[in-house]
Amino acid sequence: MGRFDGKVVLITGAARGQGRSHAVRFAEEGADVIAVDLCAQIDSVPYPMATPQDLADTVHAVEALDRRILAVTADVRDHAAMSAAVSKGVAELGRLDFVLANAGIGSIGLEDPDPVGSFRDVIDTNLTGVWNTVRAALPVLVDQGQGGSVVLTSSTAGLKAVGGSTGGGEAYVASKHAVLGLMRSFATTYAPHNIRVNAVLPTGVATPMVLNDVLATILRESPESLNVTPNLLPVELIDSADVTHAIAFLCSDEARYVTGVALPIDGGFLTR
């Protein structure tokens, strides 16, 4: 018996990295999955983004655990597309219990030829995309009348200015701070429906968003530009699974009275 038997989880940014890790873990715990990803490149993002094959790999990983999964290619920046994805997922899988608003981008570089475009793309994805995701899902949770758990992925950048002075870097910090405001607002509004809303704040995670040539160059040539200090614990980057463990707890019955919490998984980064 898994902790999430008979439950359904919606995950954005599910094609790889943290999103795939969440999908696999929740499937291991018995949940079916609605997996959403853009599976395309955003021009201002300097590293390769997820592909349709990445999303297909997530599907295979979940199906190998004998769980159902609906993969939807959709842009979190598009509210109508997210509403359609939720409706399709609920129609096929029967319900919705958990919402993991994980999709996000980082547009950080040594040069920023279009700071306005970079700022807009990051805000639209990391902030508006989170709002679109949660707003599309909450009516289902309310109508079901059985509560639910929503977890928003912020960052240590949600409490500390890291990321540099480019348009994309400033937007990253602004968006991750704002996600915590959304979390607290949603937690307050939907508590009467027994819907819990929390956020996780990871330090650097070993995913393609961090492990890429662009960021490696910045850290080699101009590390001070990002205002990044080491984690307090002796770990440079945490694993996606470390974030997944925390999210699984927040969605479990063990956390049934935990809401409105900003939970760092940061190796002590924010303590410095």
Residues annotated as catalytic are: 172
Q: Residue 272, exposed/middle/buried by CB under 10 A (0-12, 13-18, 19+)? A: exposed
**Separation CA 45–CA 265 (nearest Å):** 25
71 CB-side CA count, 13 A = 23
**Separation CA 82–CA 12 (nearest Å):** 10
Closest CA to 76 of 153, 169, 143: 153
Which of left, alpha, beta for 87 (phi over 0: left; psi -120 to 50: alpha)? alpha
**Separation CA 96–CA 103 (nearest Å):** 18
Q: What phi and psi, each to the nearest 5 degrees, are found at residue 12?
A: -95, 155
Cβ atoms of 109 and 120 within 8 Å: the answer is: no
Q: Alpha carbon 27 to chain centroid distance? A: 17
Q: What are the tokens at 127?
A: 């902030």
Q: What are the tokens at 57?
A: 């790999």
**Separation CA 15–CA 9 (nearest Å):** 14
